[in-house]
Amino acid sequence: MFEYDHRVLKAIEQVYGDSRSFLEAISMPSRRLYIRVNTLRITPEDLLDRLRSRGLEVYRDEELAEALYFPVKGPNKVDSEKPRVVVDKRAAESVYMGANLYAPGVIDCDESITPGTEVTIVSPRGFVVGEGVAEMSCWDMKRRRKGLAVRVTRSVFEAPRLRELPEYREGLFYPQSLPAMYVTRVLDPKPGEVVVDMCAAPGGKTGHIVELSQGRAYVLAFDHSRSKILELYENMRRLGHTYAVEIWRADSRYLHIDYPWIRADKVLVDPPCSALGVRPKIEDSKTWRDIEASAQYQIQFLRTAIRIAKIGGVIVYSTCTITIEENEMVIERIVEEEKCVEVVDTGIRRSSRGVYGVFRDLYTRFHPTLHDVTGYFIAKLVKVCES
């Protein structure tokens, strides 16, 4: 299931002592599936009532007012003997949680499959994730590349199909993990501030910035690829936030050169990472070179963030991974080399502080093994002088 080389496993053990407990945790979903209420369109209370009125089991989070969650049920036994549909990793992880299967996720299938055939859905390596009824033939699944391929009737785990809810289409909520919501809470964007989201797609944290600032911050959202920019724009459109966000296609490592006029009050750096903390994972492969490359990349984003921030400005750094090399060591290095930033407390108490006392206890970590959420790291910096 997991192809991690020796050094990656050692990096996991450095944090968790034993890689087995961590790998077991990330192979399972959290017991809560979170959404963030779009508070510019509806109150949490009203959305809660609306969802419950249609029979959905949904609850308010104990601390974050904008966070609602649905219980995740399972595991269920799934029939593995039916004609098979092989799907890519992303589709497999969605079906694993109860989502329907759409044709773009199909890699291969039994040629005998026609509409109405009962099928078993498996990952690229044969891990059974669900079963259902084909809505199209195998030929159509592989060649049409659009539309509903299999209506899932049973999956290993069960949760509401969020993107099929009318409230999703109306932009009343955004599916988002609990730790990701805390990131924007730490950033604490205010009306009138200039806020830069350096790696903004698909837009979860960008939307949260708009909502926390009541749509009155000057938000600049950057990402580097055309497809990501389109996804970011579509999410802002669905949420009704396009009026409040300027979306730019750019390599954020060079914002201080390409956009020298930016002077930000707040900067969010949520860079590409090894994503070891993301769950559930059906399968995954990582090498130590992946970790090293990510860390070097992350340093570049932080250097630029420091340059575009005002003196007194806040920089929040977050990742959905768990290695020290991509988290504490990145921040310690940037503080040592840049001299003009200081680490301050994130203010989050619903988390762990540091890693076994090795680093300062101002950093925040969420652990799959301890908090039953995505593995996450959050650091908060303040710029104290010109670099």
What is the distance, to the nearest Å, from the Cα of residue 196 to the centroid of all Cα atoms in its chain?
18
Handedness of CA 88, 93, 94, 97 (dihedral sign): positive
User: Cα-Cα-Cα-Cα dihedral of 307, 311, 312, 317, to 10°?
Assistant: 10
| Segment (H or E) for 381 | strand 376-383
DSSP 194: E
Strands (DSSP E) contained in 143-240 are: 148-155, 173-175, 194-197, 218-223
Phi, psi for 186 (deg, rounded to 5): -65, -40
Q: How far apart are CA 271 and CA 331, in angstroms?
A: 13
Q: Which amino acid is at 145?
A: R
The residues facing 86 across adjacent strands are 108, 122
> Which is nearest to 155 in space by CA: 108, 120, 115?
120
Q: How far is CA 321 from CA 23, 199, 317, 355, 364, in A?
A: 13, 16, 12, 14, 12
Is residue 385 among the annotated active site residues?
no
Q: How far is CA 219 from CA 119, 192, 228, 265, in A?
A: 46, 10, 17, 10
> Is the omega angle on the peptide bond into residue 271 within 30 degrees of 0, that is, cis?
no
Q: Which of 138, 199, 320, 385 is catalytic?
A: 320
The catalytic residue positions are 320
